[in-house]
Amino acid sequence: MSRKLFGTDGIRGTTNSFPMTPEIAMCVGMAAGRYFVRGNHRHRVVIGKDTRLSGYMLEPALTAGFTAVGMDVVLVGPMPTPAVAMLTKSLRADLGVMLSASHNPYQDNGIKLFGPDGYKLSDEVELEIEARLNGDMDKYLAKPADLGRARRLEDAKGRYIEFAKSTFPPNLRLDGLKVVIDCANGAAYQVAPTVLWELGADVVVLGNKPDGFNINDGCGSTAPEAMCAAVVSHGADLGIALDGDADRLMLADEQGQLVDGDQLMALIGTSWAASRRLRGDGVVATVMSNLAFERYLQACGLKVVRTQVGDRYVVEHMRRHGFNVGGEQSGHIIMNDFTTTGDGLIAALQVLAVIVGSGKPASQSCRLFTPFPQLMKNARYGAPDPLALPDVKK
């Protein structure tokens, strides 16, 4: 069966155009809810969102769909994608939903689904949900006495804040460090600065005044120039730029120079290997990662396993083959000792732990290799799979 709704990262599109309409959102809630209404327990779904205006429209549409098939809904409001995944598992929910289009502008939105284990749904489950959308939806409706209820989880932010802090070494503090954090006017605008402040950092905050329209607008990981400039002007030790749903990041050292995901994976991977925390004898990256990154880790006695582009494929390989560090050059960093998906804030905390522990500035700690020249361009290709061509196979 071919996909019409689900892409590599859930369902995504322009608001009030197919498939990002309230009607389809409600039907997705019904179809996904019905798939997960199994067993005799009271069924529950966690719904989070970022700060884009359309969240006010899509959140109640999803709620209507889930409650219509008998699922209780737990609303957590604006929260990072990894926080929704964590809360889904923590609350023993059957399903988690994040309303976000990640680094896209406010006009777009998306629906990401997580299973009860906090991981993104498999292709097979997504296809099954999509098949239900094409069937008779009325047969999924619950009896009047079996409708679900909706409630708001008032302490959701506090739960994630404490979880994030628990990933930082308990014997370390951020006292004496000045950190710039750009929240992209997105989902982490409240939780990320709070975590850094509670760990002792002197925090300079950017992108923390969302208005429904300004998410990712000249700020965050896709436009890190303001963060880099703030690092220099404030004399900060490190800059962190998150994207709209805070599942990825870009860093800047104390000189305002950017540090990409390859450098971060190298730093975390070698640090964890030195402390015997690294599993799989290496890290999982994608075909986009720089060759110098791979050569550096090989020189350190570690391997790099590559997957196709998409953090879900990195996560799948990590789970299947026993790795606990992986990610993408774009800044999705997955450490499944802590999280089930990319988490920009927790990745930043692991980098800060290395900086504090080593006593070295970020420009030394975070630059472990010199990238080879690399050019990446998107090219339209309508012919069959090029890797299947006989000349390529030779």
- Look at residue 1 and tell me if it is in a domain: no
Same domain as 183, residue 113: no
For the segment 241-290, what is each residue's pLDDT rounded down to a tens digit?
999 999 999 999 999 999 999 999 999 999 999 999 999 999 999 999 99
pLDDT value at 376 more than 80: no
Q: Record the pTM.
A: 0.92
The verdict on residue 138 lying in a domain is yes
Structure tokens at 187: 């989902």
What does the alpha-carbon distance between residue 259 and residue 5 come to, in Å, rounded to a whole number? 34
Least confident of 38-47, 83-92, 173-182, 328-337: 38-47
Q: What is the mean pLDDT of residues 287-294?
A: 96
Domains: count for the chain: 2
| Residue 391 belongs to some domain of the structure | no
* Sign of the four-CA dihedral 177, 223, 294, 283: positive
Looking at the structure, tell me whether residues 202 and 308 fall in a common domain: yes
Q: Spell out the residues 6+ positions from residue 23 whose beta carbon is closer than 8 angstroms to its own.
A: 61
Is residue 88 classed as helix, strand or coil in its secondary structure? Answer: helix
| Alpha helical stretches, state H, the chain | 22-36, 55-68, 81-90, 123-133, 156-166, 191-198, 225-234, 261-274, 291-299, 311-321, 344-358, 362-365, 390-393
Give the whole-number percent of the chain exceeding pLDDT 70.
95
**Domain final residue, candidates 135, 154, 173:** 154
CATH code for the domain of 95: 3.40.120.10
- Distance in angstroms (rounded) separating the CA atoms of residues 244 and 129: 26
Is 102 labeled as catalytic in the residue annotation?
yes
Catalytic-labelled residue, pool 54, 100, 102, 221: 102
- Whether residue 126 contacts residue 3, with contact meaning beta carbons closer than 8 Å, is answered with yes
* Domain with 318 in it: 159-365
Q: Judge if 176 and 147 occupy the same domain.
A: no
Does residue 211 form part of some domain? yes
- Do 238 and 305 lie in a common domain? yes
In a domain, 383, yes or no: no
User: Is the distance from CB of 342 to CB of 332 less than 8 angstroms?
Assistant: yes
- Which of 154, 180, 202 terminates a domain? The answer is 154
- In a shared domain, residues 163 and 150: no
Does pLDDT of 155 surpass 80? yes
213 within some domain = yes
Q: Would residue 394 count as lying in a domain?
A: no
Specify the pLDDT at position 183.
Answer: 99
Task: Output the six-digit token pair for 50.
Answer: 């970022």
Q: Identify the pLDDT of residue 1.
A: 47
Quick one: average pLDDT of 50-71? 98
346 vs 351: CA distance, rounded Å: 9
